[in-house]
Chain A
Amino acid sequence: MIGPFLRLRVFLRSFAIQGSWNYRTLLGTGFAFALLPVLRVVYRERTALHAAVDRHASLFNSHPYLAGIALGAVARLEADGAPPELIERFKAALRGSLGQLGDRLVWAGWRPACVLLALALLLAGLPWWGVLAVFLLVYNAGHIALRWWALRTGFESGRQVAERVRAAGLDALRERIATAGALGTGVLLPLLVVRGAGMEPVTLWGSLLAASAAALGVLFGARIRTPVIGGLTALIALGFLLKVTQ
């Protein structure tokens, strides 16, 4: 019932799954939007289609790239004629874990690792167009492959999708990406400290201060953001205010 063309339509619509993100249904409406081509095939009768759309537009959450797992599995269940209560319970069971898994794998793994690669290349002297091309190609190769894998796994596995995802070794993959990310942070630091972040070369004392700041950053983590912005603001204020007093 769910042919390749229908799968492709769901896949393309899944890119807009967060289009109407809100605090009540989270990405529920987007879920129904992406599933709609399948629902239109499964429910030929108008009232039944309305009811199905309403059911699927209720609360749902997931990482957007991994939402395909739920979309594919739910599409399969709908096509197999599973009762609505079972589908609702299935969606509820999936929604928390897909969010957490994707956040760790993509937002705290793949994305920062790819950005660090791009920043390191920029500071190593690669021209801007090279940096742009490498970042967008590398990141989106992983991004689109993950989306496609998620949807295909959902379609193929149906209710057994949780076992398939567990067996896929995403945690091990996340671990390897995190190690690569830490490595990337390490590569970036000396490049940044020596080459500087401005349009002019940085002096030796500037590099020494930056190295100390980097060590503080490693030590204090994200807590350092507010003091750093405060320091930058103070420096800017000083630089401009001195002109007034001259």
Chain B
Amino acid sequence: MNWLGVGVLGGVAGLDATSFAQVMLSRPLVAGILTGLLFGHPREGAMIGAVLEIFDLGILPVGATRYPDAGTATVAAVAAYSTVPLHALDPGVLLLAVLFGLAWESVTGTSTVLLRRVNERLVLGTPRWRGNPGRTLERQHLLSMVLDFLRAAALAVTGAAVGGVLLRLAAGRWVLGAEIATAGLTVAAAAMAGALLGVFGGWRERRRALGIGVLGGSLLLLLLR
């Protein structure tokens, strides 16, 4: 396992989510592809990332929402999936990787809340009247970002290790077959994708656009056959 790579990717994803840039390297789809690439499985990384993305896209960082750090959790989930030997990979492992990613999001989300409490102490507890004007504030601000990076990096590595053990234990033990695993994942993703309409105003406001989109998607499917 490339622990350093996982740590750096996890740290960047965690930092991008709130603290710096927000150029969407923290989106599960992006983090999944990049982590998959690190392990030579970009297609699998994209698929795990895509399903986690569909689950998380409807959660908006507004008001008092407890926002999951989904990018870091995706790095952990894809890295964990990549630790399973190729010959032992079965569809159940992919399902479990997605579920592990969803569970790890609650850990990364909680750590974000804790870091914000630390920031509170850091920012309010240090007198800024000493030293060069503005320098203390700059140091506090940059230290907060470094802590955020380290938090996310540590959680990505820990998640990859814990998830890797779980997934290796589960590998080869899925007995319901590939059809059921794929159907289960598709049904779950489709339900969550349908729920995304709520983000844009819901059925009453957007039914016409949704209908046109379904028609367009169906035509695209026919063209791609």
Contact = CB atoms under 8 A, between A and B. Distances in A.
A188 B184 contact: no
B218 A190 contact: yes
Interface string A105-142: 00111011011101110111100110110011001100
Contacts of A236: 92, 95-96, 99
Given A135-B24, A140-B23, A203-B179, A49 B30 contact: no
Contact of B58 (A103, A213, A222): A222
Which of B33, B134, B203: most chain A CB closer than 10 A?
A: B134
Contact of B190 (A19, A57, A203, A217): A217
Interface in A27-58: 29-30, 32-33, 36, 39-40, 43, 46, 49-50, 53-54, 57
Interface residues of A, number: 109
A20 interface: yes
**How many of chain B's residues touch chain A, expressed as a range?**
35 or more
Interface in B134-182: 134, 137-138, 140-142, 144-145, 148, 170, 173-176, 178-182
Contacts of B55: 225, 228-229
Which of A201, A211, A218 has the largest count of B CB atoms less than 10 A from its CB? A218
Given A202-B183, A242-B175, 6 more contacts: A49-B133, A119-B54, A136-B30, A221-B197, A228-B191, A232-B99
Interface of B: 18-25, 27, 29-30, 33-34, 36-37, 42-47, 50-51, 53-55, 57-62, 91-92, 94-96, 98-99, 102, 116-117, 119-120, 122-124, 128-129, 133-134, 137-138, 140-142, 144-145, 148, 170, 173-176, 178-203, 205-206, 209-218, 220-221, 224
